[in-house]
Homo-oligomer: A and B are copies of this chain.
Amino acid sequence: MNEKDHYFLLYLARNIGFHGTMETSTGKIAKGLDISQQTVSRKLLEFAEEGLIIRSVTSTGMKLALAEKSREKLRTLYGELQTLFGKQLTLSGILKDGLGEGRFYMSQEQYKKQFQSFLGFVPYQGTLNISVDKDAAVAFVATKKQLYITGFSTKERTFGGLKCYSVLIAKKIPGAVIVPDRTAHTLETIELIAAVNLREMLELENGKKITVQ
């Protein structure tokens, strides 16, 4: 098997399911992958030959299931990417005084709703400002999936959007780093939120060191 064919396999896995079977046809797959029906036919024959899939031609098309061998291949690929991304980077910094603005932002219903759906929790009303090394912070967020919280307007004013990255604070509390689109500080300072009052939970005071991963 040409290892490049993993993509074909990935497509099949997504549609068939990891353990399921599926009634489909070479034409449908061809459309999905944007290649010819002939190529799909040929590839599927090759894959079956190599024991990657289980295949049976029916009157209306064919029935497909992944074989263990292809599950193994996908797991390997996944593992490789995990080692690449999974190097649980940590970011450390010093707690400093916030501007009290975070509290106001976090009290807005429209932010709260989005945090709930993106992060799975409603943030405690207040943010933690941490001084960090800018380059380290940039590298850190680069490895994280970026979630985007959209802005909105009320009668009184406009609230901007913000990027947010799910993290684990002090090795135990699930939370997030938030980066407002329009912010006074660059990544020299990051803002942390969590479902709980972090200052209390972690018995923090200004100047203390905090690590997120």
Contact = CB atoms under 8 A, between A and B. Distances in A.
A51 B166 CA distance: 29
Contact of A10 (B19, B81, B87, B142): B81
B78 A74 contact: no
12 contacts: A3-B7, A6-B7, A10-B80, A10-B84, A14-B84, A18-B142, A18-B143, A71-B142, A74-B81, A75-B145, A77-B81, A78-B78
A79 B77 CA distance: 12
Interface string A1-20: 00110110010011000110
Interface of A: 3-4, 6-7, 10, 13-14, 18-19, 71, 74-75, 77-85, 87, 139, 142-143, 145
> How many chain copies does the complex carry?
2
Main secondary structure of the interface of A (DSSP, over half): helix
A143 B71 CA distance: 9
B4 A7 contact: yes
Contact of A84 (B7, B74, B80): B74
Contact of A78 (B19, B81, B139, B142): B81
A18 B139 CA distance: 9
A102 B81 CA distance: 36
Nearest to A78: B81
Given A19-B139, A71-B142, A142-B19, A85 B81 contact: no
Closest 9 CB pairs of A and B: A4-B4, A78-B81, A19-B139, A13-B84, A78-B85, A14-B84, A3-B7, A4-B7, A81-B81
Contacts of A84: 10, 13-14, 18, 74, 78
